[in-house]
Chains A and B, each alone.
Chain A
Amino acid sequence: MKKNWPVLLLGAVLLIGLVLPLATGASAPGFYIEVLLGGLMAGVLYSLVALGFALIFKASGVFNFAQGAMVLFAALAVARLGEQMPLWAAIPLGMAIMVALAWLIERLVLRPLVNQEAIALFMATLGVTFFLDGFGQTVWGSDIYSIELGIAKEPVMVLQSVFQGGILVNKEDFFAAVVAAALVAGLALFFQMTPTGRALRAVADDHQAAQSIGIPLNRMWVIVWSVAGIVALVAGVIWGAKLGVQFSLSQVALKALPVVILGGFTSITGAIVGGLIIGVGEKMAEVFLGPILVKAFDLAGGGIENWFAYVLALLFLLVRPEGLFGEKHIDRV
């Protein structure tokens, strides 16, 4: 148990933070649960983006900064295609575009840079980010677009008998949570059950060993970037339906970064759990801690959710450098 004390510590601190507003009576139970649910929903979407990061890092050791740009690109593609054709056609077409994109990235960026240092590859994905941001808006336009999923947007009141005033729940958010869960389950099955999934895990474990037993590294990379592209598309569609498809969507990725380091770069579980922790944590902090800080330091408005996730991840990494579920790395000379 001694090994796990940082995790327990984090859990304890978060729990205290979670319970405090309720225990001190600072918020009504109904409102409190609404905030909690809102945080969980945001967390699911962070998890989806973080999942894309984790997949690519696991399989190719590339820290893909372009994941956010991919989310924006995919959402733009679906939104604009959706104007021409029904959604059931636009989404598969968008997926095909993301696969083509993955293939192009592998061909034009990753393959020439094979065997370079991690930082060079990271910088290359930064270049890809800039390119995709520009390219997406050149091809698809730079206005705000909407994606209609055909789900009622008005919130539903539930549990009116339990809490005074009930709880407002958005149907769309529920849909998002279900889709995310299905996607994660599907990915888990894909990784565990199919030969391709096994090959991907082998590549993730050791590039050279995988290659020496005949696993085609390049094809695996195309596959994993395609999967990440499709995950980005799902995240983009859900997020886009909620907030509208616009440039700020690519900033979502910046929120997913602390999720990945909190969960551990290589862990899919970590991406999901980390996403939920950060989603709930930052909503709670914004709603309950924010006003206290504003009052205490006479701030010009809250907005602490901009950095809360990062500081949380940073503090946690100080006690557990490999993240929640990351593999412990032993250095040898």
Chain B
Amino acid sequence: MFYRENGQFKSTYASDQQMLPILQDRLFMAGVLVFAFGAVPLLASDYLFLSLLIPFLILTLAAIGLNLVVGYCGQISLGHAAFMAVGAYAAYNLVLRVPQLNFLVVLVLAGLIAAAVGLVFGIPSLRIKGLYLGVATLAAQFFMDWLFARVKWFTNYAHSGSVQTAPVDLFGWIVDTPVEKYLFLLAVLIVFTLIAKNLVRSHIGREWMAIRDMDVAAEVIGIRPVYAKLTAFAVSSFYVGVAGALWGFVHLGSWEPLAFSLTLSLNLLFMIIIGGMGSLLGSYFGAAFIVALPILLNQVPAWLGVPISTAMTSHLEFMIFGALIVFFLIVEPHGLARLWAIGKEKLRLWPFPH
């Protein structure tokens, strides 16, 4: 009754091309932004920021990056945590060796370095497809894990192999309290979401989707597969590299090579599968789900008052996590974003069934 586009005419090209064509969507989005920037910093506790909101924001950025290459371009990657690692270590070394650089510049440079590495590991996608490619991208994962653990230069010859970072300094603004971190990350995420949104609805995004839907047909109608696939890998790695730098500097503060292991890669993949492949909104949903689930599962035994050992909890967590993933795939293979779309469609017709 309230959510419908009746009477909202598009009379200019600009209004035809806007991101949120329906007034109600724009109002809703404005409400979400006001809530995220205004209400959340006032309401949330430090615990909520540190364990839930900050990881959520960074992993959403990484999930968007992975979604660009897997969801939009159809090239499976199981090794994206490696590009997060590249971003994180690139940022670490840039800050260490060129201290006068502003952190935003460092962030972009780290992303570019990750993009270059992603480009190299994207080359196999020109020859290999599907799950073969998925396994081949594991090479990136294991090689990078090894590289950062063994080559001492990257960790500045630290004995334990772990690196420490100072809080982020933005033009004199030291981002070190949870609220500040949250606001900074939120701003970064919004900027990158806007860029991604515009990328996927421009010609390059359409090329990616054409390649995803059928690469041979796309090639026949004049889309260059080399260009499309490699740009997808590069842009995706850029996003993931930036996310990695943020993960290291803002979330972790100090980290070991293990911080970017295969588990993280698989978690990123879970995020976009559960959230919805080929959907930016889905990246948000998926990241929220994967970040929140372990925290919830940890709380459940305490709520029920059942004393369970920590080892048992972690095993149960694994089980429930796995079962939920299978369950989600069976119930809604297109992810939470699809549920959202169905909900919107229903709302449009409400109160009538058709």
A residues with CB within 8 A of B: 63, 108-109, 112-113, 116-120, 122-124, 126-135, 137-138, 142, 254, 257-258, 260-261, 265, 297-304, 306-307, 310-311, 313-314, 317-318, 321, 323, 331-333
Q: Is the CB of B149 within 8 A of A300?
A: yes
The reply to whether the CB of B43 lies closer than 8 angstroms to some CB of chain A is: no
The reply to whether the CB of B194 lies closer than 8 angstroms to some CB of chain A is: no
CA distance A307 to B150 in the complex (A): 12
B residues with CB within 8 A of A: 76, 123-124, 127-132, 134-136, 138-139, 142-143, 145-146, 149-152, 161, 214-217, 220, 262, 266, 269-270, 273, 277, 311-312, 314-326, 329-330, 333
Q: Is the CB of A126 within 8 A of B150?
A: no
A116, A127, A306: the one within 8 Å of B145 (CB) = A306
Q: Is the CB of B333 within 8 A of A298?
A: no
Excluding A123-B269, A131-B323, A299-B152, 17 further A-B contacts by CB distance (< 8 Å) are A63-B131, A108-B326, A119-B273, A119-B277, A122-B134, A123-B273, A128-B322, A134-B314, A138-B316, A265-B132, A300-B149, A310-B139, A313-B139, A318-B123, A318-B128, A323-B132, A333-B216
B148 to chain A, nearest CB (A): 10
CA distance A330 to B123 in the complex (A): 20
B149 to chain A, nearest CB (A): 7
Cross-chain pairs A/B with CB under 8 angstroms, 20 sampled:
A63-B131, A113-B330, A116-B329, A119-B273, A122-B134, A123-B273, A124-B329, A128-B326, A134-B317, A138-B316, A261-B135, A299-B150, A303-B146, A303-B149, A307-B145, A310-B136, A311-B139, A311-B143, A313-B139, A318-B128
Interface centre among A257, A313, A323, A333 (most CB of B within 10 A): A333
Chain A residues, Cβ within 8 Å of B145: 306-307
Chain B residues, Cβ within 8 Å of A120: 273, 329, 333
Chain A residues, Cβ within 8 Å of B161: 300
Q: Is the CB of A130 within 8 A of B321?
A: yes
Q: Is the CB of B146 within 8 A of A261?
A: no
Residue of A nearest to B143 (CB): A307
Q: Is the CB of A134 within 8 A of B319?
A: yes
B312, B325, B333: the one within 8 Å of A138 (CB) = B312
B134, B273, B318: the one within 8 Å of A131 (CB) = B318
For the complex of A and B, the 3 pairs showing the least CB-CB separation, nearest first, are: A134-B318, A131-B322, A130-B322
A314 to chain B, nearest CB (A): 4
- Decide if the interface of chain A is mainly helix, strand, loop or mixed: helix
Q: Is the CB of B138 within 8 A of A332?
A: no
Chain A residues, Cβ within 8 Å of B277: 119
Q: Is the CB of B130 within 8 A of A257?
A: no
- Decide if the interface of chain B is mainly helix, strand, loop or mixed: helix
Q: Is the CB of B149 within 8 A of A333?
A: no
CA distance A142 to B311 in the complex (A): 8
B298 to chain A, nearest CB (A): 14
Q: Is the CB of B146 within 8 A of A298?
A: no
Chain A residues, Cβ within 8 Å of B322: 126-134
Q: Is the CB of A131 within 8 A of B319?
A: yes
CA distance A307 to B161 in the complex (A): 19
CA distance A67 to B316 in the complex (A): 20
Interface centre among A138, A260, A306, A310 (most CB of B within 10 A): A310
Chain B residues, Cβ within 8 Å of A311: 139, 143
B262 to chain A, nearest CB (A): 7
Residue of B nearest to A311 (CB): B139
Chain B residues, Cβ within 8 Å of A310: 136, 138-139, 142-143
Q: Is the CB of A116 within 8 A of B311?
A: no
Chain A residues, Cβ within 8 Å of B270: 123, 126
B109 to chain A, nearest CB (A): 24
B34 to chain A, nearest CB (A): 36
Q: Is the CB of B132 within 8 A of A300?
A: no
CA distance A301 to B333 in the complex (A): 44
Residue of A nearest to B129 (CB): A321
B24 to chain A, nearest CB (A): 33
B289 to chain A, nearest CB (A): 13
Residue of A nearest to B142 (CB): A307
B118 to chain A, nearest CB (A): 15
Q: Is the CB of A306 within 8 A of B146?
A: yes
Q: Is the CB of A317 within 8 A of B311?
A: no
CA distance A299 to B127 in the complex (A): 32
B320 to chain A, nearest CB (A): 8
B307 to chain A, nearest CB (A): 16
A189 to chain B, nearest CB (A): 29
Chain A residues, Cβ within 8 Å of B150: 299-303
Q: Known contacts A131-B323, A300-B150; is A142 also within 8 Å of B315 by CB?
A: yes
Residue of A nearest to B153 (CB): A298
Q: Is the CB of B152 within 8 A of A133?
A: no
Residue of B nearest to A53 (CB): B135
A258 to chain B, nearest CB (A): 7
Residue of B nearest to A319 (CB): B127
CA distance A304 to B321 in the complex (A): 32
Q: Is the CB of A258 within 8 A of B135?
A: yes
CA distance A303 to B326 in the complex (A): 35
Chain B residues, Cβ within 8 Å of A116: 329, 333
A286 to chain B, nearest CB (A): 12
Q: Known contacts A126-B270, A126-B325, A127-B326; is A333 also within 8 Å of B214 by CB?
A: yes
Q: Is the CB of B128 within 8 A of A138?
A: no
Chain A residues, Cβ within 8 Å of B323: 127, 131
Residue of B nearest to A136 (CB): B315
CA distance A135 to B145 in the complex (A): 28
CA distance A129 to B320 in the complex (A): 12
Chain A residues, Cβ within 8 Å of B149: 300, 303
CA distance A132 to B321 in the complex (A): 11
Q: Known contacts A123-B325, A307-B146; is A299 also within 8 Å of B136 by CB?
A: no
